[in-house]
Structure 1
Amino acid sequence: MSEPRNELQLLREWDADTPPLTDPARARALFRLHQAMLTPTTLAPATVRRRPVLRMAVAGVAAAAITTTVLVANESSPRTEPVSAATVLHGAAAEERRLEKPIAPRDDQFIYTKEIVKETPAKGGRTRTYVDESWNSVDGSKKSYVSELGRKQWVPVFVPGQGTWPPTKWTELEQLPTDPRKLVITLRDMGGKPDYSKPMRAADWPMTQVFVSGLLRAPVLPKGLRAAAYEALATVPGIKVLPHQKDADGRVGIGIQYVGPAGTPWAKGGPVLVFDPKTYRYLGMHDRRTVGGTRYEQWTYIAASAVVDRVMQRP
């Protein structure tokens, strides 16, 4: 099996001494890189701003009948069963709907997130743990305060005509469809009027899986949207199911990794999403990154999230 590769690694290695790219900047760079590898086409315009947000878990999945034997726990003893990516993701959607607690934050509030990141040098060494707490403005009208791998910074307010993709403003998130097919097309069309009559092409999927997965990195979403995103991921071609994957707490689960077509930045695979083998609840992500020639194994998970009234307020 080929080694999973962080699809942002080349961008990070380009100049490791500069501040890390924001997610919108990464998306733009990946989009341009991918399109440069294809026959030129007419692209819909999209307005994106440089706005630091939580890292995007770039992992696509497919409903294709690609299965593997994974460890499935029961009350007596472990057993093995063939499980498809579609089974895992539809199970994750069902679990999300069962546990979902709808919220309706006000525009003047903030989304609080506590993310735990653990890193270990790939060749061995001390494990470092980062506790990243962030407060993101619900509508972008207030300064946000974000942390990434311990790097803390204030984020300027949105100005008219600027935004991110996938959107982060709550009002824009509420406008995204909860029908998985429509959600995929809406994200593909990057903020333009969705053309539901236009079928997905093979060349559309690599970047679309970036955007769908970006939604899943948001700690809080409108009712039904996270479940729809799981089901949307289940339609993306290019999936590998990896057994015996661990989350940041050492729990063994089912891993799902997007592997893109040859010649794309995802050809050797992206980060691995880890799901509970029994309930299919999402546990966290296993990724890799390289800094200054040193490669790190990285595990992340969301420890807490909530809606609060001000920066530095904790639930």
Structure 2
Amino acid sequence: MNEIELLREWDADAPPLSDTARARARARLYQAMRAPAAAPVVVGRRPLLRIAVAGAAAVAVTATVVVAQDAGGNAPRTQTVSATTVLRGAAAEALRTEKPLAPRDDQFIYTKEVIERRPVSGGPVKKWVDESWSSVDGSKKGYVSELGHKQWVPVYQPGQSTWPPSKWSELKELPTDPGKLTATLRDMGGKPDYGRPTRADEWPMVQIFLSGLLRHSVLPKGLRSAAFEALAAAPGVKVLPGRTEFNGHTAIGVRYIVGPPGTSAKDGGRLLLFDAKTYRYLGLRERAAEKGTAYAYDQSQYIVADGVVDRVFQRP
């Protein structure tokens, strides 16, 4: 069993977990993340691929990267940028550019995302443009596309919920203080202990929950910024040395680490990319391989449009 399957089993209609049961669940999540990687799985109402887009962004506070900047037409100068600076810059940019939305329960969140696969050994690039419509309160059937595979999403059953929350009414209840947000997600729906520091062995689980939260293209005011600030406090992630190009932008890459070498969560592959000047989050790039084959590819994905609409197949 992997950590995503554990999340799928979460049942909001069940009695609240005891401290012992909650600790046991944390341990199972951490053990699952140390297990060998498996094939992609569907996560509740959305595949794992989308969950990974924006959330697994914990960044080491000690890592730095040197980037070149244009000093007003003069020769480029260099500036040492810490990982904390990148994540907190992303938080500030998210707060500055967020959309003041208050969707009704009967509406849908629309997302348009581009995914590209470039073979490592060369060859044609595969490209998908995925559009999805998610019910604001889960009371209406949604429609999602992943790598061109389209499917209807059933309505929530009575008492059904997810963790982290996906209904807008529940998202609005999450704190926008970064420390409190971390504690709330960490304590899995129980009464959060804001005064207790998050232990090192709990951070992998917190990152999974923040990943699930940040998969939403639209969030209540201040919540995305708080999530980036919370991730800036997570240990163990590096800034990629040098610069890269991504979707027409000069980007700083952030590579996350949530487990020791030799585990499925080792240092590698996945990069979160931020604009080198504004620190705006751009998208995800990762190296992957098809299971049982020698085919390896670099996959990029980024959101090009989002908004609130009244019905499935309507666009903002």
Give the whole-Å Cα distance in 1 for the aligned partners of 2:33 and 2:152: 36
Q: Which amino acid aligns with 2:51?
A: R
Query: CA distance change for structure 1 residues 73 and 265 in 2, over 3 Å: closer, same or farther?
Result: farther
Secondary structure, counterpart of 1:261 in structure 2: coil
Residue 246 of structure 1 deviates from its aligned partner by: 2.8
Q: Which structure 2 residue ranges, 5 or more long, are not aligned?
A: 10-24, 35-42
Rate the CA distance shift 1:37–1:290 in 2: closer, same or farther, 3 A: closer
Larger mean Cα displacement after TM superposition, 151-160 or 28-37: 28-37
Is the contact made by 2:8 and 2:162 (CA closer than 8 Å) also made in structure 1?
A: no
Q: Which residue of 2 aligns with 1:153?
A: 151
1:62 maps to which of 59, 62, 77: 59
Q: What is the letter of the counterpart of residue 200 of structure 1?
A: T
Q: Deviations over 1:177-203 (max 9, x none)?
A: 100001111111222221223321110
Matches within 5 A, 1:2-151: 24-25=4-5, 32=28, 34-35=30-31, 50-52=44-46, 54-57=50-53, 58-62=55-59, 64-76=61-73, 77-151=75-149
Q: Is the 8 A contact 2:52 2:215 kept in 1?
A: yes
Question: What is the CA–CA distance in structure 2 between the aligned matches of 1:299 and 1:147, rounded to whole Å?
Answer: 16
For residues 51 and 223 of structure 1, the distance between their equivalents in structure 2, rounded to whole angstroms, comes to: 23
Which residue number in structure 2 is paired with residue 296 of structure 1? Answer: 297
Q: Deviation above 4 Å: which 4+ runs of structure 1?
A: 26-31
Shift of 1:80: 1.9
Structure 1: unaligned runs, 5 residues or longer: 1-10, 12-22, 39-48
Q: State the SS of the aligned residue for 2:204.
A: helix
Offset from partner CA, 1:221-273 (integer Å, 9 cap, x none): 000001101101100001110131332x2422111111133164322235211
Identity of paired residues, percent?
Answer: 57
Residues 59, 87 of structure 2: 8 Å contact kept: no
Deviation at 1:33, TM superposition (A): 5.8
Q: What is the one-letter code of the residue matched to 2:302?
A: Y
Matched residue of 2:90: which SS?
helix
Cα deviation code 1:88-109 (max 9, x no counterpart): 1111111222222211000110
Distance 2:185 2:132 in 1: 25
Normalised TM-score (structure 1): 0.82
Q: Secondary structure at the match of 2:253?
A: strand
**Per-residue Cα deviation, 1:92-145 (whole angstroms, up to 9, x for no partner):** 111222222211000110000000111111221110110000000001111110
CA contact (8 A) 1:245 1:255 kept: yes
Q: Cα offset for 1:52? A: 2.1
What is the root-mean-square deviation of aligned Cα atoms in Å? 2.6
> What is the Cα deviation at residue 69 of structure 1?
1.7
